[in-house]
Amino acid sequence: MNRTIGLRDIRIRTMTVLAAAVLCVLFAAPVRAQGADGSGGAPTVPTPPPPEPSLPSAAPTEPPRQQEAEPEAATRASKAKTLSGATMQSNDSEPTLGPETARATLEASKRYADIADAGGWPRVGKALRPGSKGKAVVALRRRLAAESELSENEASGGRWDDRLTDAVKHFQFRLGLPETGVVSGATLRELNIPATVRSRQLALTAKRLAHKQFPFEQRYVVVNIPAAVVEAVDGDKVIHRYTAIAGEVDHPSPEIVASITAVNINPTWTVPVSIIKNEMEPKIRKDPNYLSRAHIRVLDRRGHEINPRKVDWSKEHSDSYTFRQDRGTQNSLGSLRISMPNKHDVYMHDTPKKKLFARVYRFLSHGCVRVEGVYDLAAWLLEGTPGSPTGRWDQATIMQKIADGERDDVRLAHAVPVIWVYLTGWASADGTVHFRNDIYSMDKEAMLRPGRAEQRYSSYFNIKREVRYQSSGGPS
């Protein structure tokens, strides 16, 4: 059964807020990541964002810490649990994107607009942790109660208790932060972002989704770019969720809808012309042995291999040649590439630089998405595909094929839909609201587009947005 987000069928009119945000919110500048998509030295972690940004535009800088599992969040306590070598982001079974996400997100935007219209939420003035007490703890309780992390009965009192720790951890879970139960760093900054900004993030997400056409089949894959997370969804539930590395600010990962058609085992890498020109040419001129050390062959226009040491790179144009990196452990795509034909020529793949998955800031590629646990994802994609030497494409079989060292392009028996989306604020079907940073400043640009922001968001009460749904069962 196919279900599609679209602009034509059921109409939902929901008021959204943005005028107050335009007038009172200052935007933070994006943090620029540096680094190559496997073409050179390790990327550099960017400068942390300024404190208390009005619009989140950089990844959290609070480092992960070890913590014990709280009783109420036992299922989330294994957030750092590994499955088949992959560090799982969360065990929450609700997908980031489903048939009801746009509807739920619009409704959440209205709720946050109501909070803003009623005066917003209190500011938490300082770092806090278990054992803290006093007025700052009272403010924290009221702040968390505003988003229903605590009940009204729990919204007062100046002492820290276990219930408050649980509420802080759940807030951190919704923001994609390490669940430490401590209010400091990124957690403190996120707590103090105004409700007007949160409402705007939700409204802009709903608008983006309203323009998407995506078939929600039994099985599909979602990449939420600002979260740097990949989800494998089966039967409206997340079966696997993986940490990912997305495009850096200068080379953003695009929003796309495509179909995964094949898994390439032991792929070669054809280096994009932009990387050759901007990153490899200077290295080649400086070091004639650079290409051989990187296991990169140079082919002429007829596909014949040439000796790069015989080319005068100060005179020759590199775009006259094809640069192809041999398969193997040093290959920038790692051992696996997930093929998903699209006009941007981006895809998901393995990487030899697996240590980068441990970073909090993971916007380091040239637009493609690197997946931790990609072998596990490939096995899931290949379920039911014939041609395995062992009868099934499980992870052990894939690893053996990799060890054999030969290139193998395995076509899926059934293509799997995949969507890359840019969601900075969204609500799950169960009503849980999540936020991520506006890493590419898409929210900021949408609000400041000349001649439109003032017209479109001039009044709180004359903003109406339409999101329509289409399903195989007709309007619902």
pLDDT band for position 3 (cuts 50, 70, 90): low
Low-confidence winner among 37-41, 111-115, 398-402, 470-474 (lowest mean pLDDT): 470-474
* Banded pLDDT at 449 (limits 50, 70, 90): low
Residue 298 above 80 pLDDT? yes
* pLDDT for residue 311: 87
What mean pLDDT is reported for the chain? Answer: 80
Q: For residue 84, is it left (φ>0), alpha (ψ between -120 and 50) or beta? A: left
Q: What local confidence, expressed as pLDDT, does residue 89 receive?
A: 58
Give the count of beta carbons closer than 10 Å to the beta carbon of residue 287. 11
Of 160-164, 191-195, 280-284, 436-440, the one with minimum mean pLDDT is: 280-284
pLDDT of residue 34: 34
CATH numbers and ranges of domains, the chain:
121-193 (1.10.101.10), 269-326 (no CATH)
174 φ, ψ (degrees, to nearest 5) = -70, -25
Predicted confidence (pLDDT) per residue in 333-352, tens digit: 999 999 999 999 999 999 99
User: Under a CB-based contact definition with an 8 Å cutoff, are residues 419 and 256 in contact?
Assistant: yes
**Mean pLDDT calculated for residue range 148-154:** 96
The crossing angle, in degrees rounded to 10, of helices 135-146 and 162-175 is 50
Higher pLDDT, 163 or 81: 163
Q: What is the pLDDT of residue 419?
A: 98
Percent of the chain with pLDDT over 90: 66
**H or E element at residue 117:** helix 101-117
Higher pLDDT: 58 or 32? It is 58
For residue 98, pLDDT beyond 80: yes
Q: Which of 349, 366, 414, 434 is catalytic?
A: 349
The answer, as to whether pTM is greater than 0.85, is no
Residue 63, amino acid: P
Residue range 336-393, pLDDT digits in tens: 999 999 999 999 999 999 999 999 899 999 999 999 999 999 999 999 999 999 999 9
* pLDDT at position 17 over 90: no
| The two three-digit tokens of residue 80, written as one number | 């750092």
368 is catalytic: yes
Percent of the chain residues topping a pLDDT of 70: 75
> What pLDDT does 171 receive?
98
Is residue 138 scored above 50 in pLDDT? yes
Would you place residue 429 in the very low, low, confident or very high pLDDT band (cuts 50, 70, 90)? confident
Q: How many whole angstroms separate alpha carbon 208 and alpha carbon 202?
A: 10
**What pLDDT does 475 receive?**
28
DSSP 133: B
End-to-end CA gap in the chain? 15
SS3 call for 171: helix
Judged by average pLDDT, the poorest of 114-128, 238-252, 266-280, 406-420 is: 266-280
Q: What is the mean pLDDT of residues 324-333?
A: 93
Does the structure show a pLDDT above 80 at 69?
Answer: no
pLDDT recorded at residue 47 = 32
Q: Quick check: 159 pLDDT over 80?
A: yes
- Averaged pLDDT, 319-330: 90
Average the pLDDT over 117-123 and give the result: 97
Give the mean pLDDT of 64-92: 39
Verify whether residue 349 is a known catalytic residue. Answer: yes
- Residues facing residue 320 across a β-bridge: none
Integer Cα distance of 198 and 196 in angstroms: 5
